[in-house]
Amino acid sequence: MMIPVCRLADLPRGEAFRLDIDPPVSVFHTDDGEVFAIDDTCTHQDASLADGWLEGCEVECPLHASKFDLRTGAVDAPPAKRPVRTHGVLVEDGMIYVRVSTDAPNLPPCVASRLAGGPA
Amino acid sequence: MRTVAVVGASLAGLSAARSLRGRGYDGRLVVIGDETHRPYDRPPLSKEFLAGTLGEADLSLEADDEDLRAEWLLGARATGLDRARRAVRLADGREVRTEGLVIATGAAARTLPGTEGLAGVHSLRTLDDARALRDELARGGRLVVIGGGFIGAEVASTARALGLEVTVVEVAPTPLAAPLGATMGGLVSALHADHGVRLLCGVGVKGIGGESRVDAVHLEDGRSIPADIVVVGVGARPCVEWLEGSGLALDNGVTCGADGRTGLAGVVAVGDCANWYDPRAGAHRRVEHWTGARERPDAAVATLLAGGAVEPGVPRPPYFWSDQYGVKIQFAGHAGGADSVTVEEGSPDGRDVLAVYRRAGRPVAVLGMNQPRSFTRWRKQLSAPPRQS
Ligand SMILES: Cc1cc2nc3c(=O)[nH]c(=O)nc-3n(C[C@H](O)[C@H](O)[C@H](O)COP(=O)(O)OP(=O)(O)OC[C@H]3O[C@@H](n4cnc5c(N)ncnc54)[C@H](O)[C@@H]3O)c2cc1C
Ligand code: FES
């Protein structure tokens, strides 16, 4: 399913847009003008990667500085250990669309247990 | 270089070992650590691990399939560095001959003299410390935390959430004034009262009462606070005693350059034990934060492998986080030299501020409480290369 995100013109380079679906997905517009979509929640703890530090094709988690590759979702070093999912992106008529991955997300334990209705 | 030894098998040591391999070093790599554990993450020790929501397996800093092709000498304490023979001496009499040396021995919790052997008195630096404290907190009771710094505050917050009655004693008039300045130190430490933790400031501890087990903390003003458990959170000292007489300059840690280089060729220092030159501050600093211990070893390793021939870059300003009472506290830069602090977003009452510290109008530090997004923006701005003067 393609989900409309926002207009490309409304997302300046170097910025991110968080799509409030469950779990949230973030769309990044890099300084080089590329657009990528990955899961917004860091795999270490409950942090929003859209709040993070975007440099090149990597975003650094705003809390504990693990870096995720926007192209592959891979993480560089701890404290996060698992990658985030990447999602398909389509820009058509100036509008950004995301095709959400059907893989299971790698949510951090605190968020996963909350979604499962367990103790937070 | 055919052999590199890393002394200290925690975050900075592991990060250095990773960088060595990442930068193509293919020789013998020996990692020496006095704890028997594989590298683990310390921040959760005062937070999720203490609260019981994270287990020991979750603390591991290594990935499951990670293989650095290193010889791990664990449970082995380095006791000396013989500069002429280029050898690290170990407590068990062994020695490791090495051409390159990464010093990553971190820091150890300061203790209160005279409290050794008194049950119920804890400090918190290692996994073993955390296990012992966690087991005691689980039984409940009255906790007195000596020291209102970050570790003390986190323990207070975690213990409070576990239902203990908690008192924090801080000798300074305001907790956290050194790292955050008095105004913001006061704001952050107001979280204690918000959550029903008693904070006693401006009073020192005279002694700890109890025969075989602690029963009270005696204050210098004559008051006694009944206590079932005491946590001493009065800071840490760099673990560099083993380097006395090695020819390295030691002054509040190993004195080194912005990239960890020391006065001895082939020797670099990283992490909490390193008193590195900070070009932004124009002074040496020993910074006890996770992110520096993880990031800075890469520059040190580059210098080591290049035989000192690389120009040190300007590292990012120090950054740390803390989690207290469900509030994410983030700080970057140096508050010390600031002449003003202004709240730019949020409100002090809501405990969700973004505050910027300035010196002569230029931002030098930033504090966030539950403000990760704006915090990142300000932190980026602080990291812009310093202007040449
Ligand atoms: C409870 C706790 C909570 C923390 N929370 C935060 C936080 O929220 N945010 C943050 O930014 N930072 C936090 N920190 C700080 C952070 O954990 C440290 O900055 C980081 O661990 C430093 O890494 P290091 O490798 O330099 O030193 P350490 O982690 O101290 O490791 C040094 C290692 O060297 C070993 N060693 C010492 N001497 C010798 C010797 N002679 N021979 C062999 N081995 C030796 C030690 O046993 C230890 O294993 C916290 C620290 C603690 C203790
Ligand atoms: S929450 Fe992202 S690295 Fe910790």
List, for residues A64-91, the tens digit of each pLDDT value: 999 999 999 999 988 999 999 999 999 9
Q: If we measure between CA atoms, which residue out of B137, B132, B128, B124 comes closest to residue B228? A: B137
Instruction: Choose among B41, B54, B379: nearest Cβ to A78.
Output: B41
Chain B residues with beta carbon closer than 8 angstroms to that of A81:
63
Chain A residue nearest residue B19, CA to CA: A77
User: What are the pLDDT tens digits along chain B (389 aa)?
Assistant: 999 999 999 999 999 999 999 999 999 999 999 999 999 999 999 999 999 999 999 999 998 889 999 999 999 999 999 999 999 999 999 999 999 999 999 999 999 998 988 999 999 999 999 999 999 999 999 999 999 999 999 999 999 999 999 999 999 999 999 999 999 999 999 999 999 999 999 999 999 999 999 999 999 999 999 999 999 999 999 999 999 999 999 999 999 999 999 999 999 999 999 999 999 889 999 999 999 999 999 999 999 999 988 888 888 999 999 999 999 999 999 999 899 999 999 999 999 999 999 999 999 999 999 999 999 999 999 987 655 44
d(Cα B120, Cα B66) in Å, to the nearest integer?
A: 38
Surface of A (63-102) touching B: CB under 8 A = 63-65, 77-79, 81
d(Cα B295, Cα B304) in Å, to the nearest integer?
A: 15
Task: Report chain A's C-alpha Rg in angstroms.
Answer: 14
d(Cα B312, Cα B276) in Å, to the nearest integer?
A: 12
User: Residue B52: left (phi > 0), alpha (psi -120 to 50), or beta?
Assistant: left
d(Cα B383, Cα B317) in Å, to the nearest integer?
A: 6
Instruction: Choose among A62, A77, A109: nearest Cβ to B375.
Output: A62
Ligand 1 lined by B289 (C-beta under 6 Å): yes
Type of residue numbered B214? V
Q: If we measure between CA atoms, which residue out of B245, B333, B240, B235 comes closest to residue B288? A: B235
Chain B residues with beta carbon closer than 8 angstroms to that of A114:
none
User: What is the pTM assigned to this prediction?
Assistant: 0.95
Ligand 1 lined by B17 (C-beta under 6 Å): no
B360 part of contact set with chain A, CB < 8 Å: no
d(Cα A50, Cα B324) in Å, to the nearest integer?
A: 23
Q: If we measure between CA atoms, which residue out of B118, B132, B126 comes closest to residue B217? A: B118
